[in-house]
Structure 1
Amino acid sequence: MEKYKQIIAGILIIAAIISIGAYGYGFLNSDLTQSTNENVNTSQDIKNTTNNSTKNTTDENEDYKIVIDYDGPFTAGYGSANAHDDVTSSGHREYDLGKTTYVDVGVKKSDSSNNELKVTIYKGNTIVKEDSTSEPNGEIVLHYEE
């Protein structure tokens, strides 16, 4: 019974992190949009804005994915601007998130083994963030934002 309480507590913590990240993204995104619109006054500003938009579009052409590797059971919660989900699984798992501006993921081992749990966030084929743990019942929480 204690094991299930720990799993539920872990899932609740992950859900809270995802909710906070989603709220923070909405607040930050509206501030950036307002700031960008207020600063476009001259032809030089318009040229700079166009160049920045082109750069951002190029960067956003690469999809994000989360890869979880663990030879045992785990629970995970992940979120982005496009997707949110909670899963219980084991082994090698990949979760495609598409194009987004942030990624949150939390994974908790559901056993007390010393096996390595590894979590990686990819943008295209590039690793943008990763972490691992071999602690019994260990957990990993990662956040990546452009």
Structure 2
Amino acid sequence: MICIDGGVFQNNPTTTALVEVFKYPREYANGESITLDDIFVLSIGTGRHNKFVSTRHAYSGGQIAWIRPIIDISMWGNSQAVDEHMERLFLLQSGKRHYLRLNVDIPDEEYADMAISSKEAMDYYTERFKIDYLNNPDVQAQLDQWLIDSEIVAPLQ
């Protein structure tokens, strides 16, 4: 069997997930239909690495040198487009943030390939998660608001 990583065409699968939810009519036990207002999405990415491309390399690197950057740009662009569309769709529908995307930064190129599953790599990703999320007050505020809007937790009195 030949398989292709979903990241080749869908690095942020939120759109696909919503299509699956609404593919068939769904109802609550009381007969009311499930709507977009009833759905909250917490999308957790596998991380992103932004490789710097120097001006010299951009102009003199040639077509072969652009293969990897073009692939990375295409994949990241797709993910960002889905992120933007989902955020707007949910805001337009409910006026609340029913959608939140979290994605850690991976500054070290040696860990940019998510196929690396060594203990060292896992420790690195865990540390990046702590830096970007657990110790980041802006992200914590976004997550707290998302949890309140979704009614997963009640606001503190």
TM-score with structure 1 length normalisation? Answer: 0.29
Q: Which has the higher helix share?
A: 2
Q: Which has the higher strand share?
A: 1
TM-score with structure 2 length normalisation? Answer: 0.28
| Greater RCO (CA < 8 Å, at least 6 residues apart) | 2
